[in-house]
Amino acid sequence: MAVHLIRKNLNEAEGDYIKIGNTVLPTNAANMGNADYDTVARMGKQKYDAEKKAEEDERKRQAAIEKGKDYQEKIDELINQGKDPIDAYFEVLVPGNGKADTVAGELVRAMMRILYRDWNDGDRFFAGYGMETAMPSAAYIMDTLGGAIKNTLVDIAESELEEDSYTAAIENVSDMLIKHLKDHPELLGEDNTNDGRYWRVSSEYEKLEQKYDYDFSLPWQIEELVDRGDVSENEIEWELSDWEYFKNCEIEVWSDSVEVHGLTEEQYDEIRQYLDKSLESWGEDWAEEYGLDDEDDLDESVLHEGTSPYTVARYKGNQYGIWDEVSCTWVTFGKKTDLEKRAKKLNAIATPETPQQRADRVKYHLRDEGCHSRKRVKRNKKVNEGSYDTEDIFNDVYRALENANTKIGKKAFDALDREDIVSIIVNDGVFWFEELQYGHHCSKEVKDYLKNFIKKTYGYEYLYDKHPFK
């Protein structure tokens, strides 16, 4: 009876399988060694289901290809008429408003979003405001397609490409997308339910956001409090970690300066715009809290006799002092308003310099790389040096970089704004940099950028290049 029932329910399934009731066994079960019946049945069912799913997927794929043929014909017609491929796909597949009807259309819509935000606003999908305007579209493409296109977008972000390099890279991704759609015509007919503009950006992609570093000098009051032992570097770090500027950043505090790592572009821009005022207020508040006396006595031993002037200048960061133009010496430090009053008194009792003395002093500063005023005399004015004209082009370069929108361009502007470099001297078509003995010094990265910028913009040669000059 049992044998009769088994035979009654026994039938061949797709040639490679045998069905016994609801059980599916492969016809080559005898070749599976010592596997028990349940294992053979489970493996047979899994393989059977996978093959049936593949068949169903292929059926849907062919149906989608058939459905998308009209779209493809219209796209090919536009391309043959000379239209750029991405524009042709966009015109045919993307509606005037809202998400596209097909997966291919939504992919093209997402790609055009990335391209548009770059062309029109300079947004990069991995940096600053681009994390809001373009990253969701990039994430949609990466999650939908994966593979080479995803890897390329990740490489673009990790390389922190800028300007023309970035534009060329995303245009290459656009070409890769068009090729992918050509190789997978079913995407033109596959129904879409997603909106790439509002795609969820996973933590994997959030980590791609470009980060910036920034360093600045502590307010002179804080430095003084550290020297006196009233506050520690740890206390300074705790204070700064509460500032919104430095949220989720790594902070390193040194005796007279601070390094911040991991800033977003938005934080970086805010710091450049507002940090000096915040530091000034912080220094004044702590000076009052700890009873720090602003009225440092002048060091009479360094005061020169005779020619003026004494000038109030920024020593570093937001710290100000009185600078002796003649002896190239910092006289004292303090609040800018107090220093201005004291410098005025000093200049009132000093012997006024003659025009010749002033000219000699200017030439002295221009020649001596080790000693310079924080407030350069007659910047961008030519001073006769023998048979050549020597010119300080600091202001020209400063203004040219004031609206720089690249990371290194902003760094270079910040270095000039802090006066890490105090003069950029040109003599007979050759230029060099001059720095202070004290305070911040310009990093090699920034100096190399400035050298290339000046050579390209003004056509001057750099004094210390290996190639000889005449």
Per residue in 98-145, pLDDT (tens digit) is 999 999 999 999 999 999 999 998 899 998 889 999 999 999 999 999
pLDDT in tens, 217-229: 888 888 888 877 8
Q: Which structural domain range is residue 104 located in?
A: 84-197
Q: Tell me if 63 is assigned to some domain.
A: no
- CB proximity list for 21: less than 8 A, separation 6 or greater: 9
Q: Indicate if 301 and 282 belong to the same structural domain.
A: no
Q: How many CB atoms lie within 10 A of CB 374?
A: 20
Instruction: Name the CA radius of gyration of the chain, rounded.
Output: 35
Within 215-258, residue ranges assigned H as helices are 220-228, 233-241
- Are 296 and 333 within 8 A, CB to CB? yes
Q: Give me the half-sphere count of Cα atoms (radius 13 Å) on the Cβ side of residue 397.
A: 36
Last residue of a domain, one of 256, 290, 324: 290
Distance CA 200, CA 88 (A): 28
Identify whether 103 is part of a domain. yes
In the prediction, which pLDDT does 77 show? 94
With respect to residue 62, please indicate whether it lies within any of the assigned structural domains.
Answer: no
Q: Is 71 part of a structural domain of the chain?
A: no
* 265 and 306 co-located in one domain: no
Domain endpoint, select from 338, 353, 368: 353
Report DSSP state, residue 146. -
Q: Which helix (H) or strand (E) holds 251?
A: strand 250-253
The residues, ordered by sequence, that sit 6+ positions from 101 with a Cβ below 8 Å of its Cβ are: 93, 95, 191, 192
Distance in angstroms (rounded) separating the CA atoms of residues 262 and 179? 37
CA distance 312 to 231: 28
Q: Enter the DSSP assignment of 306.
A: S
Distance in angstroms (rounded) separating the CA atoms of residues 116 and 133: 10
Structure tokens at 463: 């004094």
Whether residues 390 and 433 share a domain: the answer is yes
Pairing, β 388-392 against β 319-324: unpaired
Same domain for 189 and 89, yes or no, is yes
> Do residues 170 and 233 both lie within one domain?
no
Residue 26 in any domain: the answer is: yes
pLDDT of residue 360: 53
Report the alpha-carbon distance of residue 102 to residue 134 in Å, rounded.
Answer: 20
Residue ending a domain, among 171, 197, 223, is 197
In this structure, are 415 and 470 located in the same domain? yes
In sequence order, the 6+-apart residues with CB closer than 8 A to the CB of 83 are 91
Is residue 85 within 8 Å of residue 71, measured between CB atoms?
Answer: no
Domain tally, the chain: 5
pLDDT at 24 (0 to 100): 61
What is the structure's pLDDT at 239?
A: 87
* Residue 32 and residue 122 in one domain: no
The verdict on 180 and 93 lying in the same domain is yes
Whether residue 72 is contained in a domain is answered as no
**Residue 436 · residue 388 · CB < 8 Å:** no
**Residue 60 is assigned to a structural domain of this protein:** no
Q: Is position 66 within any domain?
A: no
Do residue 193 and residue 145 come from a single domain? yes
Parts of the chain with a pLDDT under 50: 1-14, 295-307, 362-388, 437-439, 466-470
Q: Can you list the alpha helix ranges (DSSP code H) found in 352-443? A: 355-367, 394-401, 407-417
Is 330 found in the same domain as 255?
Answer: no
Name the H helices within 328-401.
Answer: 336-349, 355-367, 394-401
Residues 169 and 240 occupy one common structural domain: no
Strands 17-20 and 23-26: antiparallel
Tell me: do 93 and 187 sit in the same domain.
Answer: yes
Contact 425, 392 (CB under 8 A): yes
CB under 8 A, 24+ apart: contacts of 272-277: 272/410, 272/414, 274/245, 275/216, 275/245, 276/317, 276/318
